[in-house]
Structure 1
Amino acid sequence: MRLIALPLSLILLFATSMLRAAEEQTAEEQAPKVIAYYELAPSIVVNVKGKAKYIRCDVQLMTRDENRLPAISLHAPALRHELILLLSDQQGDEIRTTKGKERLRKVALKALRKVMKQLEGEEMIDDLFFTTYLVQ
């Protein structure tokens, strides 16, 4: 009888610990993610094409998981580089309009997500906001 009780006790102990681990993992997955922002500082200033001479903008990147901030911070130079190339290729007159600004925001978001996907294996950036935007 003792020979049966010992393995049975071990099986019950193992099963209980597995259930606890599964419950903890489920609780972590269901926990609401904390939205966090990362500022690409300092301001980005680049020359643009056309009649306008330059654009100056401040950019905030939003992620729905604050645990991604260290990776975004690590790759900030690559993200700034991508934005500088993108912005310098814009027609100044087009990015002055509301539609042009929104189009640029979407294109920039897509470009930065692509950079993060290449560097980290996932996009990580959920949105991009211009907090200062000046075209002259």
Structure 2
Amino acid sequence: MRKVFSGLLLVLALLPLAGRAEEPAQDDYVSYIELKPFVANFISDGPIRFVKCDISIQVSSPEGLNAVNYHLPRIRNDIVFLLSAQREEDLASVEAQQRLSRMALEKVQAVLVVEEGEPYADDLFFTSFVIQ
């Protein structure tokens, strides 16, 4: 009975260690910040047209996550102005949308460099993109 009790104590003592996940290394950290949908009108030769898109920003550190969330109002502002400055042909093709994605990432990184001294954002994805 004593051996069983000792074995049970040993198992109970090791349980918290077995259930604990390893902390991810700083190099393994990836997080995505999903922004609220954007709706903006853009330059068109005809009637007013709109673009609606969902954007996610990829960061690779907790500091980046905090920085993006903290400066989100300014980031959203700059992206809305970027979208509004586009012409219809700047949004029409997949290649044009990929260029726009890179431009939006550069805007985000510029805000973070000015405010935090680091670009922090690693990538920017349009998770939906609708032109109307």
TM-score by length of 1: 0.73
- What do residues 5-59 of structure 1 show as CA deviations (whole Å, max 9, x unaligned)? xxxxxxxxxxxxxxxxxxxxxxxxx753310001111x10000011460100000
Secondary structure of 1:126's counterpart equals: strand
Letter in 2 for 1:74: Y
Match of 1:44 in 2: 38
Matched-pair contact (CA < 8 Å) for 1:33–1:66 = no
Aligned ranges 1:86-97 → 2 under 5 Å: 86-97=82-93
Matched, 1:66 2:70: no
Once superposed, which parts of structure 1, at least 4 consecutive aligned residues long, lie more than 6 Å away? none
Identity over aligned residues, as a percent? Answer: 29
Deviation at 1:67, TM superposition (A): 3.4
Match of 1:27 in 2: none
Letter in 2 for 1:80: R
Aligned ranges 1:1-136 → 2 under 5 Å: 31-41=26-36, 43-50=37-44, 51=46, 53-136=49-132
Matched-pair contact (CA < 8 Å) for 2:26–2:61 = no
TM-score by length of 2: 0.75
The gaps in structure 2 that reach 5 residues or longer are 1-24
User: Looking at CA atoms only, which structure, 1 or 2, has the larger radius of gyration?
Assistant: 1
Secondary structure of 1:96's counterpart equals: coil
Secondary structure of 2:77's counterpart equals: helix
Deviation at 1:92, TM superposition (A): 2.0
In the superposition, relative to structure 1, how do residues 84 and 64 fare at CA in structure 2: closer, same or farther (>3 Å)? same
Matched-pair contact (CA < 8 Å) for 1:92–1:135 = no
Letter in 2 for 1:105: S
Greater share of residues in helix:
1
